[in-house]
Amino acid sequence: MGTTLPIFIMVTLAVLFGLLVMVVTAVLGPRKPSAEKLAPYECGIQEIAPPKRRFPVKYLLTGMLFIAFDIEIVSFYPLAVLLHELKLLGLIQLLIFLVILAVGYIYVWRKGAFTWD
């Protein structure tokens, strides 16, 4: 019990703090937002005309793919540093990781995620 007590106290304090913040914002926050607060573009400038078209979702997909592949590529660094010490096992792990990454890249490419039609 002695080693888990600090963890239990930390989790309890985190939950209590989260509940405290929710209660304080519910009590002190505005009851009903104004029409200006509910507007889609709240930047202080009066809206002249509605937006011409929706923002394409392709940018979202590209951003998500960039983050996913970027994190995977960054994962190569620790393996590359330890590759000399890990010898054949490290090389096999690196190749398996590279194959999984390549399969994901080919799948996304075949689905047409990199085209801008």
Task: Dump pLDDT digits (tens) for 44-98.
Answer: 666 677 667 776 677 788 888 889 888 888 888 888 888 889 889 888 988 998 8
Angle at 95 between CA 91 and CA 96, to 5 degrees: 120
Query: Domain residue spans in the chain?
Result: 5-110
Query: Global pTM?
Result: 0.48
Fold of 5-110: Methane Monooxygenase Hydroxylase; Chain G, domain 1 (1.20.58)
Beta carbons within 8 Å of 61's beta carbon, 6+ residues apart: 113
pLDDT at 10 over 70: yes
The residue with tokens 């590279």 is 98
pLDDT at 42 over 60: no
pLDDT of residue 55: 65
> What percent of the chain is modeled with pLDDT above 90?
26
